[in-house]
A and B are shown apart, each in its own frame.
Chain A
Amino acid sequence: MSKKYLFISSLLMSLTACQSSQAEQPQDATLTRINAGVITELQQAIQSAKGGALVTLADDVFTKSAVLLIDHGTGKGPDGLPIMGAHSIPSEKFVLQKAGEQCLLYYPKKERRIPLPNVECEVN
C-alpha cells in the first residue's frame, strides 16, 4: 500500500513538475505595448548580448513577429551613393520570448536570454 502510494505520489509529482516546467518554458512572443522606453530597453539588451553600438530598431519592432534580424547599418561613398559590398557577416537574430510572466530577449548565437523587466508581451 505504502509502496503503491509512494509510486503514485511520485508519478503525480513528476507530472506536476513537468507541467510547471512546460509553463515556464520560453515561448515566442510579440509586444503588447511599445514606446520609446521599450525600444531603448530592447536596444540596450541587444547591445549587452552582442556588443557593438546601439542598434536602430523599427518603431514597430516585435509587434508583428517574434523574430528580429539585424543587418549592417548605413554608409555612403564620397559621391553620396551607398557603398556596401560583399561581406561575410550574417544578420544577427534575436527572438522575443515569454516565460511565465517574464519577457525575454533570446540571442540564439550565444544561447543567452536577457530579462526585459519593463516590457509587456504575449505569446503568439
Chain B
Amino acid sequence: MAIQVRIPTILRSYTGGEKSVEGSGSTLDELFADLDGRYDGLRGRLVDDSGLRRFVNVYLNDEDVRFLGGLAAPVTDGDTVTVLPAVAGGAY
C-alpha cells in the first residue's frame, strides 16, 4: 500500500495528466519530496520557502493539513491526500 495523492486539473501538467498518483513518506514533506522525484516541479507549486503555499489547500483524509501540523503532518500507507485550489463554498 502507498499514499494516494489526488491532483487538481491545473496541476496535472506535472503528472502527465494523471488525476491521482501514489507516493510514500512518513510526513507530508517527505511525500511531496518523493513525488517531486517522479513529477518534476510539482513540489514547487505546492510549497515555498515558508511552507505550504497560501492558495493551495492540502487535505489528509479530507482534513486540512494546516490544522494537523502542515508539512510535518504524519502520513501513513492507506491515507488519501487531496490537493485543491483554495476556494470558498457553501449555502450562503
Question: Does A pair with B?
Answer: no
B-to-A contact residues, CB < 8 Å:
none
A-to-B contact residues, CB < 8 Å:
none
